[in-house]
Every structure is written in structure tokens, then in C-alpha cells.
Amino acid sequence: MALGGMFRNAAAIYLHLVGPFRGKKSGASLARCLHQTLVMTKQLQARRLDGIDHNPWVEFVKLASEADVVNLGQGFPDFPPPDFAVEAFQHAVSGDFMLNQYTKAFGYPPLTKILASFFGKLLGQDIDPLKNVLVTVGAYGALFTAFQALVDEGDEVIIIEPFFDCYEPMTLMAGGRPVFVSLKPSPNQDGELDSSSSWQLDPTELASKFTSRTKALILNTPNNPLGKVFSRAELELVASLCQQHDVVCITDEVYQWLVYDGCQHVSIATLPGMWERTLTIGSAGKTFSATGWKVGWVLGPDSLLKHLRTMHQNSIFHCPTQAQAAVAQSFEREQLHFGQPSSYFVQLPQAIQRCRDHMIQSLKSVGLRPVIPQGSYFLITDISEFKSKMPNLPGAADEPYDRRFVKWMIKNKGLMAIPVSIFCSVPHQKLFDHYIRFCFMKDESTLQAMDKKLQKWKDELRP
């Protein structure tokens, strides 16, 4: 038998060499020596993962799966997508067999076509489906592709906090340097609930963050976790600084249809001079309440998108064809109903505003102080009162208070939320460690389960 056939793998070599010595002293040391050569001793983790290998989400998502906990933490709807979208997916799976195969790398043509025509009207641009649209694996895929394609070693990226938590690791993995600037609440009348609109950027502080190394600014409106919808005036400030310093604006607008109280979502790409330097990111998951479909897109000028196409072609290649077909058909339906009461983009925010208001009323009953969100799936609530009444919750001394509070709430009250310090840079966590984030994009039955838990909590508060 040829030698190569005898020793098919490392385990076989090990057994062959060590087996006869088992139980003998000299054998034990030989075994140790051989074991060391078989276990890899090289530095395995790529340097780009340094500092980002611990993700608090893993811990909190695990806690949410514990028995009898109402999960108001993670951002997904626990109700079905609209019938027309589900039917479109069923049709994609059972119809044309070619939808089981690869499609064009930069997007299934009917999808890039409808995205171009739908968003072309909204953004006031003549969008070319081949040059100005890239379909990605969710908005996550769009963000990753954008950071990898544009951010170079040492480039600075301005991140407005609190921020969707992947912006920081994505900047770092691309070799960039995150530069943080915080939204800060303005003081309100005592007893009144705060609104996310009163959280603002200090224009002087924002301007001071731009340097000759600034490559990009990442904007998220409506914002996760705060639910802030940036006003036109705020966007004009960001736009003028981006233009003044020749900076790309990456704008994450995945919650654009979820705005409340008549609030208007404004895309920064529609402001004068901004289309040329803006990447606008969207998500079918958030648009059609189907987060598992993982279809996203980026819209922008060819001068930027050509680099994203290079990156995408050489990494992800493309997003599943059937999901793209379902999204294409869903957008075609929405285009026909646009602006009418039958439109999902009209009906969804109305329904979700009721969920938001329900949650606000319920949370107030136990002394939590919600900040009223103008948009998104989320609201944050102030827990300062609890911080002063129960400052010594279990947990490590350096663990931010909001994380200890959420663990306490899961264990003692059966309710899961997400600590807001997760959405902040480490040096600024103290500024935000008295807020927690709840997701109200939930079915009526989940909100009722929340009410039961809160009623019990309220009863326990009675002297």
C-alpha cells in the first residue's frame, strides 16, 4: 500500500505513531509533542478582527431565548409579511425553474429595473438599472460592500451615535478609523416625555470632526436605536460639510417607510449636489416585513457604484435569485398603489404607530420614560430613576448600568430589551448607559404578553 494511502490524515498519523506508546511515560511526552505539532500554533485570527471579536449581541440574544421571556429586543416583526409579498415569493419558488439559478451579479434584472424606476422618482434622478443600482444580501451586505470598496487604511469615517452597531466594526475591518459624534438630548419640561427630535447634533462639534483624512460619513435616518428622523435642516448641515470636505455620505435608510405622526422622511441624496457623493441603502426585509429574505440594495452614482461592483463581484457575487424575484414583484405592486390607502407603505406605518403608542403607554406604567420615536422599529427609554434607586445591580464593576439592568429585567420581569450602550463607542458608553431599547414592531399578542408582565411589575411596586 502506498504511504499516502496509509496516512490519510493527521489523526491517522497520530494514532499510528502514538498508539504503541499509550500508557507509557515516554509515550505520554511524545504524544504531547506530537499533539502540539498537530494543533495549529500560528496566529489564526486576522488582525482586522482585533478588538471586534466580542459581540454583546450574542449574549443578549441567548438570554432572549430563555423560557417565558417576552422578546422586545431584536428588530424583527413577529407577524407575517403582506399577502402579496408572500404570494410573490411562493410564485418565485414554484414558477420559472431558471429562478433556481444564478442571475446577473449586480442584481436580477426585473429587480434592478423596478428599483431604478421606483427610487428614480423619489430621488429625482434618472437611475440606470445597470449603473446606479446594486442588489446585495440585505442592507448589511450593502454596508459591508460600501465600506470595503471605499474605506482605505487610515481613512476616517464619521459615525453619529447612538448608531446601528455594525458601522464601527465595518469601518475597522476596512482599516478605517471611526470618529464619533453624539446626538444629545436637549433638556425638556419636567414630567414631559422626550421626543427623538430633541436629540440633535451640535453643528460646531460636527464640523470639528471633519479632517483631510475623512473619507465618509455614515448617516442613518430614521435612526436605530433612537427612532430619530433627521430634519431637512439637519441634513442640509451634514450635506454642506460633506461637500466642503469632499466626503462620501453613506446613508442607511432601511426604515424610510416607518415614520409616524406625519413626519417626513427626507433622503439626503435629494439635496442639491448630494447625489454625486451619496450611497443610499435600503432593505426589502424592513420594507416588506420579511427580514429573513435578506435582500438589500445600494443606489448611487456610477463613479461610486463601480467600486462597490468590483468588491461585490469578488466576494458575495450575488443575492439569491428567488428572493430578488419576490422583491421585484412586491415593488411592482407597490408602484401601482403608491400613495394610495391600499399601499403597504401607507398602511404599515399607521398600524405600527398604534403599536408604538401602545408600548409607550404600557412602559410608562412602571416608571420607564420612553423617548417618543419619529420613526423606525424602536424606542429607547430612560432608566435613570432605576439607576438611582437600585445602583448596585449584579454584574461586573465595569459593566455599563444598562446592560446590568437588562439582565435584571430579563431575570426578574421576563422582559427583554437591548442596552443602548451597545450602540455607542466605548468612551461614550457612560453618556448612554441609562437608556434601553425596545422594539415595538410586534404582533398584538406579543404586546399583550408584554402588558401582562408590566401589570405584574406594577403590582409589585405597590407598597
Binding site for ligand PLP (CB under 6 A): 75, 138-140, 164, 220, 224, 252, 254, 283, 285, 291, 296
Least spacing, CB of residue 446 vs ligand PLP, in Å:
18
Cα distance between residue 101 and residue 15, in whole Å: 45
Least spacing, CB of residue 220 vs ligand PLP, in Å:
5
Least spacing, CB of residue 164 vs ligand PLP, in Å:
4
The residue (of 282 and 400) whose beta carbon lies closer to ligand PLP is: 282
Closest to 420 measured CA to CA, from 405, 440, 410: 405
Cis peptide before 419 (omega within 30 of 0): no
Cα distance between residue 287 and residue 439, in whole Å: 16
Least spacing, CB of residue 189 vs ligand PLP, in Å:
30
The residue (of 225 and 370) whose beta carbon lies closer to ligand PLP is: 225
Least spacing, CB of residue 459 vs ligand PLP, in Å:
34
**Length of the chain counted residue by residue:** 463
Backbone angles phi, psi at 283, to 5 degrees: -140, 125
The residue (of 125 and 136) whose beta carbon lies closer to ligand PLP is: 136
Cα distance between residue 220 and residue 133, in whole Å: 19
| Residue pair 244/210 in contact by the 8 Å Cβ criterion | yes
The residue (of 386 and 440) whose beta carbon lies closer to ligand PLP is: 440
The residue (of 75 and 300) whose beta carbon lies closer to ligand PLP is: 75
**Alpha carbon of 395 to those of 400, 405, 408: distances in Å?**
9, 9, 10
The residue (of 322 and 453) whose beta carbon lies closer to ligand PLP is: 322
Task: Give buried/exposed letters for 206-216 (b at 16+ CB in 10 A, else e).
Answer: beebbeeebbb
| Residue pair 372/197 in contact by the 8 Å Cβ criterion | no
The residue (of 178 and 414) whose beta carbon lies closer to ligand PLP is: 178
Looking at the DSSP bridge assignments, the partners of residue 381 are 370, 436
Residues with Cβ within 8 Å of 264's Cβ and at least 6 positions away in sequence, in order, are 229
Alpha carbon dihedral 338, 276, 140, 424, in 10-degree steps, equals: -110
Question: In a 10 Å sphere around its CB, with 0-12 CB exposed, 13-18 middle and 19+ buried, how is residue 8 labelled?
Answer: exposed
Least spacing, CB of residue 37 vs ligand PLP, in Å:
42
Least spacing, CB of residue 50 vs ligand PLP, in Å:
24
Least spacing, CB of residue 345 vs ligand PLP, in Å:
16
Least spacing, CB of residue 18 vs ligand PLP, in Å:
48
The residue (of 197 and 221) whose beta carbon lies closer to ligand PLP is: 221
The residue (of 224 and 321) whose beta carbon lies closer to ligand PLP is: 224
Least spacing, CB of residue 284 vs ligand PLP, in Å:
7
Cα distance between residue 319 and residue 86, in whole Å: 18
Q: What residue number has its CB nearest to ligand PLP?
A: 138
The residue (of 220 and 267) whose beta carbon lies closer to ligand PLP is: 220
Least spacing, CB of residue 75 vs ligand PLP, in Å:
4
First vs last Cα of the chain: how many Å apart? 84
Q: Which residue has the cell 430621488?
A: 123
Cα distance between residue 337 and residue 84, in whole Å: 12
Q: What is the DSSP string of 17-29?
A: HHGGGTTSHHHHH
The residue (of 164 and 438) whose beta carbon lies closer to ligand PLP is: 164
Q: Which residue has the cell 403607554?
A: 361
Least spacing, CB of residue 152 vs ligand PLP, in Å:
23
The residue (of 209 and 228) whose beta carbon lies closer to ligand PLP is: 228
Residues with Cβ within 8 Å of 131's Cβ and at least 6 positions away in sequence, in order, are 302, 305, 306
Alpha helix positions (H), 290-343: 302-313, 321-337
